[in-house]
Amino acid sequence: MAVISPEILTQPVAQQEMSHSDRYVHFTVTEANNLYAAHEAWRIQAEGYLDMGFVTEEALTPEGYLVPELDKSRGKDVEYHLAVNPCNMDDCATVRKVSPPKDGTYRDLPSYKMAEPAIYPDGRQALDGITEQDRRLKEISALARTKDGSAVGVYEIFRKLIQDATGSDEVWFFSTVSTTFQSLVRSFGERNFAIIGDDISMPDARVNSSITLRPTIVTPGTFIERVLDAHISTEGKGKGTLKRSFLFLADGLEESRMSPRVVMARNAMLQGK
């Protein structure tokens, strides 16, 4: 049975998008403008976390959501991103972007409050510096896909977030599962993920005791350029992975929003040079 209803494809207030080589239909919603779609995002996250072994069945409510104690990234400051395969409703993905509350700071972000005891002193200095520069610091969380979903859906959402923030002053606090972190590093290069604290565990019997979260800073405005740097400096089999990631992230992005160096590299790769 599909985790998400085909009704999602008819939602009138959802921001529905499909661009460049996307396989999925993309939605960006809030609880205020589309509570139905937001709840479907909760459901995708819960199914994904259960399937990946992050949580036990006791962590889910009868509706198929994570219990509130284990999912703090909800409410009016949360932007939900969903990717839905219109040809297969069992294939969906989601991620959330959380803004600090009005008159709040990064210290009010749910993931930061959980990670705060493990943040390095220079990590706090880096976060304070971002705030002092009046850059927008947001949280990225709840990255997940359905049990029968493809990783492509997750990567398409990630590409959309990166492209939307390219050239902006946005910076992300990203607290991700350590195994997912390693996968992201392989795909996009180590320099894109600045570790600012020790791995943290969640003291809850409903969470797999081996699961740890790794606090990092990600700068989306320079993300694509750094993938290119990683590709240039890498030898061996990882070089091809980084090339594919670079072309994937740059796909469909207007040249005016990329540096001349990135445009030149993309065009050369597409021409087989």
Structure tokens at 90: 């069992």
Structure tokens at 72: 């703090």
Return the pLDDT at 120. Answer: 97
Q: How far apart are alpha carbons 70 and 59 in whole angstroms?
A: 8
In the chain, the number of structural domains is 1
- Please report whether residue 1 resides in a domain: no
pLDDT digit of tens for each residue in the chain (273 aa)?
446 666 666 665 445 555 567 889 899 999 999 999 999 999 999 999 999 999 999 999 999 999 999 999 999 999 999 999 988 989 999 999 999 998 899 999 999 999 999 999 999 999 999 988 888 899 999 999 999 999 999 999 999 999 999 888 899 999 888 888 989 999 999 999 999 999 999 889 999 988 899 999 999 999 999 999 999 999 988 999 999 999 999 999 999 999 999 999 999 999 986
- Please report whether residue 151 resides in a domain: yes
DSSP 118: G
CATH number at residue 244: 3.40.630.30
Is 170 in a helix, a strand, or coil?
A: strand
Give pTM, 2 decimals: 0.90
Distances in whole angstroms, Cα of residue 81 to Cα of each of 64, 161, 267: 18, 9, 30
Contacts of 224 (CB under 8 A, 6+ apart): 162, 166, 246, 249, 250, 253, 258, 262
Q: Which domain holds residue 140?
A: 6-270
Q: How close are the terminal C-alpha atoms of the chain, in Å?
A: 46
- Please report whether residue 71 resides in a domain: yes
Nearest to 83 by CA among 177, 5, 16, 166: 16
Return the pLDDT at 176. Answer: 87
